[in-house]
Amino acid sequence: MSKSQTIEIEGRQLTLTNLDKILYPAAGFTKGQVIDYYARIAPVLVPHLTEHPLTLKRYPGGVDQEFFFEKNATKHRPDWIQTTPIWSEGNQRTVHYLLANNLATVVWMANLAAIELHPSLSLAKDMECPRAMVFDLDPGPPANIIQCCQVGVWLREIFDHFGLRSFPKTSGSKGLQIYVPLNTATNYDSTKSFAHALARLLEDQHRDLVVSDMKKQLRVGKVLVDWSQNDEHKTTISLYSLRAREHPTVSTPVQWEEVEQALKKKAPNLLVFEAGQVLKRVEKMGDLFAPLLTVKQKLPKFEAIEGAESDLEIAGRAEKPPTSRVKKAASAKTAAPKRARAKKKK
Protein backbone atom coordinates (compact mmCIF):
# COMPACT_ATOMS: atom_id res chain seq x y z
CA MET A 1 0.00 0.00 0.00
CA SER A 2 1.15 3.57 -0.65
CA LYS A 3 1.85 6.09 2.08
CA SER A 4 -1.60 7.61 1.64
CA GLN A 5 -4.59 7.13 -0.61
CA THR A 6 -8.22 8.12 -0.99
CA ILE A 7 -10.81 5.36 -1.16
CA GLU A 8 -14.58 5.14 -1.38
CA ILE A 9 -16.53 2.95 1.06
CA GLU A 10 -20.30 2.70 1.03
CA GLY A 11 -20.50 5.89 -0.99
CA ARG A 12 -18.25 7.80 1.41
CA GLN A 13 -14.78 9.06 0.61
CA LEU A 14 -11.96 8.47 3.07
CA THR A 15 -8.36 9.62 2.90
CA LEU A 16 -6.06 7.09 4.55
CA THR A 17 -2.72 8.44 5.72
CA ASN A 18 0.71 7.17 6.80
CA LEU A 19 -0.09 3.67 5.57
CA ASP A 20 3.56 2.60 5.69
CA LYS A 21 3.99 3.66 9.30
CA ILE A 22 4.98 0.71 11.47
CA LEU A 23 2.66 0.39 14.47
CA TYR A 24 4.01 -2.97 15.69
CA PRO A 25 7.82 -2.59 15.54
CA ALA A 26 8.66 -6.15 16.62
CA ALA A 27 6.42 -7.60 13.92
CA GLY A 28 6.88 -4.93 11.25
CA PHE A 29 3.09 -4.61 11.13
CA THR A 30 2.05 -1.33 9.52
CA LYS A 31 -0.87 1.03 9.86
CA GLY A 32 -1.96 -0.07 6.41
CA GLN A 33 -2.13 -3.66 7.64
CA VAL A 34 -4.13 -2.58 10.70
CA ILE A 35 -6.64 -0.87 8.42
CA ASP A 36 -6.74 -3.86 6.09
CA TYR A 37 -7.42 -6.23 9.01
CA TYR A 38 -10.27 -4.14 10.35
CA ALA A 39 -11.79 -3.71 6.88
CA ARG A 40 -11.75 -7.48 6.31
CA ILE A 41 -13.02 -8.45 9.78
CA ALA A 42 -15.79 -5.81 9.71
CA PRO A 43 -18.57 -8.13 8.45
CA VAL A 44 -18.44 -10.09 11.72
CA LEU A 45 -17.24 -7.22 13.93
CA VAL A 46 -19.81 -4.54 13.09
CA PRO A 47 -22.90 -6.50 14.25
CA HIS A 48 -21.34 -6.72 17.73
CA LEU A 49 -20.47 -3.01 17.82
CA THR A 50 -23.69 -1.62 16.34
CA GLU A 51 -25.38 0.86 18.70
CA HIS A 52 -22.91 0.11 21.51
CA PRO A 53 -21.12 3.26 22.79
CA LEU A 54 -17.46 2.78 21.96
CA THR A 55 -14.23 3.85 23.64
CA LEU A 56 -11.11 3.92 21.46
CA LYS A 57 -7.59 3.20 22.64
CA ARG A 58 -5.34 5.03 20.21
CA TYR A 59 -1.63 4.46 19.55
CA PRO A 60 -0.60 7.16 17.07
CA GLY A 61 3.11 6.40 17.54
CA GLY A 62 2.76 2.61 17.64
CA VAL A 63 2.19 0.03 20.36
CA ASP A 64 5.51 0.80 22.07
CA GLN A 65 4.73 4.51 22.37
CA GLU A 66 2.29 6.58 24.42
CA PHE A 67 -1.42 5.89 23.98
CA PHE A 68 -4.65 7.53 25.06
CA PHE A 69 -8.26 6.53 25.58
CA GLU A 70 -10.84 8.48 23.60
CA LYS A 71 -14.41 8.39 24.87
CA ASN A 72 -15.56 11.71 23.45
CA ALA A 73 -15.50 11.47 19.66
CA THR A 74 -12.89 13.73 18.09
CA LYS A 75 -14.28 16.98 16.67
CA HIS A 76 -12.30 16.39 13.48
CA ARG A 77 -14.60 13.74 12.07
CA PRO A 78 -16.71 13.40 8.93
CA ASP A 79 -20.32 14.55 9.31
CA TRP A 80 -21.55 11.03 8.58
CA ILE A 81 -19.87 9.52 11.66
CA GLN A 82 -22.59 8.63 14.16
CA THR A 83 -22.30 9.46 17.85
CA THR A 84 -24.55 9.13 20.87
CA PRO A 85 -24.77 11.63 23.77
CA ILE A 86 -24.45 10.07 27.22
CA TRP A 87 -24.32 11.99 30.48
CA SER A 88 -21.21 11.28 32.54
CA GLU A 89 -21.74 11.62 36.30
CA GLY A 90 -18.00 11.41 36.90
CA ASN A 91 -17.17 14.24 34.51
CA GLN A 92 -20.44 16.12 34.97
CA ARG A 93 -20.84 16.57 31.25
CA THR A 94 -22.29 14.93 28.18
CA VAL A 95 -19.89 12.60 26.37
CA HIS A 96 -20.46 11.97 22.66
CA TYR A 97 -19.47 8.33 22.16
CA LEU A 98 -18.80 6.87 18.73
CA LEU A 99 -21.16 4.32 17.24
CA ALA A 100 -19.34 1.96 14.86
CA ASN A 101 -22.41 0.93 12.91
CA ASN A 102 -20.82 0.37 9.51
CA LEU A 103 -17.68 -0.56 7.61
CA ALA A 104 -16.78 3.03 6.74
CA THR A 105 -16.69 4.02 10.41
CA VAL A 106 -14.51 1.01 11.30
CA VAL A 107 -11.99 1.93 8.59
CA TRP A 108 -12.04 5.58 9.67
CA MET A 109 -11.28 4.55 13.27
CA ALA A 110 -8.44 2.31 12.14
CA ASN A 111 -6.97 5.25 10.25
CA LEU A 112 -6.83 7.08 13.61
CA ALA A 113 -4.57 4.27 14.88
CA ALA A 114 -7.42 3.16 17.14
CA ILE A 115 -5.84 -0.24 17.64
CA GLU A 116 -8.07 -1.36 20.52
CA LEU A 117 -11.87 -1.12 20.61
CA HIS A 118 -13.69 -1.15 23.95
CA PRO A 119 -17.51 -1.21 23.65
CA SER A 120 -20.09 -0.92 26.41
CA LEU A 121 -22.10 -4.03 27.28
CA SER A 122 -25.23 -1.88 26.78
CA LEU A 123 -26.91 -0.37 23.78
CA ALA A 124 -26.92 3.42 23.66
CA LYS A 125 -30.71 3.55 23.91
CA ASP A 126 -30.72 1.68 27.24
CA MET A 127 -27.47 2.17 29.11
CA GLU A 128 -28.78 0.58 32.31
CA CYS A 129 -29.46 -2.76 30.61
CA PRO A 130 -26.44 -4.98 29.79
CA ARG A 131 -26.88 -7.28 26.83
CA ALA A 132 -24.54 -9.87 28.35
CA MET A 133 -22.70 -10.78 31.52
CA VAL A 134 -18.92 -11.08 31.29
CA PHE A 135 -16.16 -12.66 33.35
CA ASP A 136 -12.59 -11.54 32.72
CA LEU A 137 -10.17 -14.26 33.82
CA ASP A 138 -6.87 -12.50 34.48
CA PRO A 139 -3.81 -14.59 35.44
CA GLY A 140 -1.29 -13.34 37.99
CA PRO A 141 2.20 -14.55 36.96
CA PRO A 142 3.48 -17.20 36.96
CA ALA A 143 -0.10 -18.33 36.17
CA ASN A 144 -1.05 -17.97 32.50
CA ILE A 145 -3.93 -18.66 30.15
CA ILE A 146 -3.79 -22.40 30.90
CA GLN A 147 -4.85 -21.75 34.48
CA CYS A 148 -7.53 -19.45 33.06
CA CYS A 149 -8.77 -22.37 30.96
CA GLN A 150 -9.21 -24.48 34.09
CA VAL A 151 -11.16 -21.71 35.82
CA GLY A 152 -13.18 -21.18 32.65
CA VAL A 153 -14.18 -24.85 32.58
CA TRP A 154 -15.28 -24.61 36.23
CA LEU A 155 -17.32 -21.53 35.38
CA ARG A 156 -18.97 -23.29 32.47
CA GLU A 157 -20.05 -26.11 34.79
CA ILE A 158 -21.79 -23.58 37.01
CA PHE A 159 -23.51 -22.00 34.01
CA ASP A 160 -24.60 -25.46 32.86
CA HIS A 161 -26.02 -26.04 36.32
CA PHE A 162 -28.16 -22.93 35.93
CA GLY A 163 -29.08 -23.78 32.34
CA LEU A 164 -27.13 -20.86 30.86
CA ARG A 165 -25.16 -20.93 27.62
CA SER A 166 -21.69 -19.40 27.76
CA PHE A 167 -19.09 -18.47 25.17
CA PRO A 168 -15.31 -18.10 25.62
CA LYS A 169 -12.89 -15.79 23.85
CA THR A 170 -9.25 -14.96 24.36
CA SER A 171 -8.47 -11.51 25.65
CA GLY A 172 -5.78 -11.24 23.00
CA SER A 173 -3.41 -10.48 25.85
CA LYS A 174 -2.84 -12.79 28.84
CA GLY A 175 -6.24 -14.15 29.79
CA LEU A 176 -9.59 -15.60 28.84
CA GLN A 177 -13.05 -14.03 28.90
CA ILE A 178 -16.39 -15.75 29.29
CA TYR A 179 -19.62 -14.18 28.03
CA VAL A 180 -23.17 -15.14 28.99
CA PRO A 181 -25.69 -13.61 26.56
CA LEU A 182 -28.84 -12.17 28.11
CA ASN A 183 -30.66 -9.88 25.63
CA THR A 184 -33.52 -9.58 28.12
CA ALA A 185 -34.64 -6.92 30.56
CA THR A 186 -32.11 -6.79 33.38
CA ASN A 187 -29.76 -4.31 35.05
CA TYR A 188 -26.16 -4.05 36.20
CA ASP A 189 -27.07 -4.50 39.85
CA SER A 190 -28.34 -7.98 38.97
CA THR A 191 -25.50 -9.03 36.68
CA LYS A 192 -22.80 -7.61 38.94
CA SER A 193 -24.23 -9.27 42.06
CA PHE A 194 -24.61 -12.60 40.28
CA ALA A 195 -21.10 -12.42 38.80
CA HIS A 196 -19.64 -11.54 42.21
CA ALA A 197 -21.46 -14.49 43.79
CA LEU A 198 -20.01 -16.90 41.23
CA ALA A 199 -16.52 -15.46 41.64
CA ARG A 200 -16.79 -15.96 45.40
CA LEU A 201 -18.14 -19.47 44.88
CA LEU A 202 -15.15 -20.43 42.74
CA GLU A 203 -12.75 -18.80 45.18
CA ASP A 204 -14.24 -20.77 48.06
CA GLN A 205 -13.96 -24.07 46.21
CA HIS A 206 -10.52 -23.50 44.64
CA ARG A 207 -8.57 -21.22 46.95
CA ASP A 208 -5.27 -22.49 45.60
CA LEU A 209 -6.01 -21.07 42.16
CA VAL A 210 -8.90 -18.57 42.22
CA VAL A 211 -9.18 -15.10 43.72
CA SER A 212 -12.08 -12.65 43.50
CA ASP A 213 -10.30 -9.71 45.14
CA MET A 214 -8.36 -7.38 42.85
CA LYS A 215 -5.51 -6.65 45.25
CA LYS A 216 -2.33 -7.47 43.32
CA GLN A 217 -0.60 -9.11 46.27
CA LEU A 218 -3.38 -11.72 46.39
CA ARG A 219 -3.15 -12.57 42.71
CA VAL A 220 0.36 -14.04 42.45
CA GLY A 221 0.10 -17.43 40.75
CA LYS A 222 -3.70 -17.27 40.77
CA VAL A 223 -6.50 -16.33 38.40
CA LEU A 224 -8.57 -13.26 39.18
CA VAL A 225 -12.21 -13.84 38.27
CA ASP A 226 -12.97 -10.22 37.50
CA TRP A 227 -16.69 -9.79 38.04
CA SER A 228 -16.46 -5.99 38.23
CA GLN A 229 -16.57 -5.56 34.44
CA ASN A 230 -20.34 -5.87 34.73
CA ASP A 231 -20.75 -2.15 35.24
CA GLU A 232 -22.37 0.63 33.26
CA HIS A 233 -19.19 2.69 33.51
CA LYS A 234 -16.76 -0.02 32.38
CA THR A 235 -15.91 -1.56 29.04
CA THR A 236 -14.33 -4.84 27.93
CA ILE A 237 -12.13 -5.39 24.91
CA SER A 238 -14.25 -6.15 21.85
CA LEU A 239 -14.14 -9.50 20.19
CA TYR A 240 -12.03 -9.31 17.01
CA SER A 241 -10.20 -6.25 18.36
CA LEU A 242 -6.46 -6.05 17.87
CA ARG A 243 -4.41 -5.73 21.05
CA ALA A 244 -1.46 -3.44 21.59
CA ARG A 245 1.00 -6.23 22.31
CA GLU A 246 4.38 -6.98 20.75
CA HIS A 247 2.61 -8.79 17.91
CA PRO A 248 -0.83 -8.03 16.40
CA THR A 249 -2.76 -10.51 18.53
CA VAL A 250 -6.56 -10.43 18.52
CA SER A 251 -9.28 -11.02 21.12
CA THR A 252 -10.59 -14.16 19.47
CA PRO A 253 -13.79 -16.19 19.94
CA VAL A 254 -12.94 -19.85 20.57
CA GLN A 255 -14.84 -23.08 21.06
CA TRP A 256 -15.03 -24.74 24.47
CA GLU A 257 -13.35 -27.75 22.85
CA GLU A 258 -10.36 -25.56 22.05
CA VAL A 259 -10.21 -24.38 25.66
CA GLU A 260 -10.30 -27.98 26.86
CA GLN A 261 -7.63 -29.02 24.36
CA ALA A 262 -5.27 -26.24 25.43
CA LEU A 263 -5.84 -27.21 29.07
CA LYS A 264 -5.23 -30.90 28.37
CA LYS A 265 -2.02 -30.25 26.44
CA LYS A 266 -0.95 -27.35 28.70
CA ALA A 267 -0.21 -25.43 25.51
CA PRO A 268 -0.82 -21.66 25.78
CA ASN A 269 0.16 -21.16 22.14
CA LEU A 270 -3.03 -22.96 21.06
CA LEU A 271 -4.98 -19.89 22.22
CA VAL A 272 -2.83 -17.16 20.68
CA PHE A 273 -4.12 -15.78 17.38
CA GLU A 274 -2.77 -12.96 15.26
CA ALA A 275 -4.70 -10.90 12.70
CA GLY A 276 -4.09 -13.15 9.70
CA GLN A 277 -5.00 -16.30 11.62
CA VAL A 278 -8.25 -14.76 12.83
CA LEU A 279 -9.32 -13.87 9.30
CA LYS A 280 -8.73 -17.49 8.25
CA ARG A 281 -10.64 -18.79 11.29
CA VAL A 282 -13.66 -16.65 10.47
CA GLU A 283 -13.56 -17.77 6.84
CA LYS A 284 -13.59 -21.38 8.01
CA MET A 285 -15.68 -21.27 11.19
CA GLY A 286 -17.83 -18.17 10.84
CA ASP A 287 -18.59 -15.96 13.83
CA LEU A 288 -18.49 -18.18 16.92
CA PHE A 289 -20.04 -15.33 18.91
CA ALA A 290 -23.05 -14.87 16.60
CA PRO A 291 -25.39 -16.37 19.27
CA LEU A 292 -24.48 -13.44 21.55
CA LEU A 293 -26.69 -11.28 19.35
CA THR A 294 -29.82 -13.43 19.52
CA VAL A 295 -29.80 -15.87 22.45
CA LYS A 296 -32.17 -14.72 25.22
CA GLN A 297 -31.48 -15.86 28.76
CA LYS A 298 -32.54 -14.78 32.22
CA LEU A 299 -30.40 -14.97 35.31
CA PRO A 300 -31.67 -17.24 38.08
CA LYS A 301 -33.85 -15.42 40.59
CA PHE A 302 -32.35 -14.62 43.96
CA GLU A 303 -34.11 -14.36 47.26
CA ALA A 304 -33.57 -11.16 49.23
CA ILE A 305 -29.86 -10.55 49.60
CA GLU A 306 -30.22 -8.78 52.93
CA GLY A 307 -29.44 -11.10 55.77
CA ALA A 308 -27.63 -13.60 53.58
CA GLU A 309 -24.55 -14.96 55.33
CA SER A 310 -22.38 -15.05 52.21
CA ASP A 311 -22.39 -14.98 48.42
CA LEU A 312 -22.18 -18.77 48.54
CA GLU A 313 -25.53 -18.90 50.32
CA ILE A 314 -26.99 -16.52 47.75
CA ALA A 315 -25.73 -18.67 44.89
CA GLY A 316 -27.12 -21.77 46.56
CA ARG A 317 -30.57 -20.21 46.73
CA ALA A 318 -30.71 -19.50 43.00
CA GLU A 319 -33.66 -20.92 41.14
CA LYS A 320 -32.76 -24.20 39.43
CA PRO A 321 -33.50 -24.88 35.74
CA PRO A 322 -35.24 -28.06 34.57
CA THR A 323 -33.08 -31.16 35.05
CA SER A 324 -32.96 -31.80 31.30
CA ARG A 325 -31.03 -28.58 30.81
CA VAL A 326 -28.32 -29.37 33.31
CA LYS A 327 -25.18 -31.12 32.07
CA LYS A 328 -23.76 -33.83 34.20
CA ALA A 329 -20.72 -32.55 36.10
CA ALA A 330 -17.41 -33.84 34.76
CA SER A 331 -16.37 -35.01 38.21
CA ALA A 332 -17.25 -34.53 41.86
CA LYS A 333 -13.97 -32.69 42.29
CA THR A 334 -14.89 -29.91 39.84
CA ALA A 335 -18.65 -29.78 40.40
CA ALA A 336 -18.61 -26.54 42.38
CA PRO A 337 -22.40 -26.04 42.56
CA LYS A 338 -22.87 -29.51 44.08
CA ARG A 339 -20.24 -28.80 46.69
CA ALA A 340 -21.90 -25.55 47.55
CA ARG A 341 -25.21 -27.29 48.17
CA ALA A 342 -23.56 -29.99 50.22
CA LYS A 343 -21.81 -27.36 52.28
CA LYS A 344 -25.09 -25.63 52.93
CA LYS A 345 -26.69 -28.77 54.32
CA LYS A 346 -24.08 -29.14 57.03
For residues 150 and 326, which has the higher predicted lDDT (pLDDT)? 150
**With bands split at pLDDT 50, 70 and 90, how would you rate the model's confidence at 333?**
very low
The pLDDT-based confidence of 120 (bands split at 50, 70, 90) is: very high
Beta bridge partners of 57: 69, 116
User: Per-residue pLDDT averaged across 253-276, rounded?
Assistant: 98
Q: What percent of the chain has pLDDT over 70?
A: 86
**Percent of the chain scoring above 90 in pLDDT:** 81
Average pLDDT on 116-123 reads 98
Over range 184-196, report the average pLDDT.
95
Q: What is the pLDDT of residue 302?
A: 58
Position 86 pLDDT exceeds 90? yes
Higher pLDDT: 340 or 182? It is 182
- Predicted confidence at residue 214, as pLDDT, reads 84
Statement: residue 24 has pLDDT above 60: yes
* CA dist list (Å): 282 to 118, 232, 252, 276, 291: 21, 30, 10, 10, 15
pLDDT for the residue numbered 2? 55
Backbone angles phi, psi at 168, to 5 degrees: -95, 150
Mean pLDDT of the chain: 88
Q: pTM for this one? A: 0.87
Report the pLDDT averaged over residues 101-116.
98
pLDDT at 128 over 80: yes
Q: What is the pLDDT of residues 36-53, one digit of tens each?
A: 999 999 999 999 999 999
Q: Is the pLDDT of residue 121 over 80?
A: yes
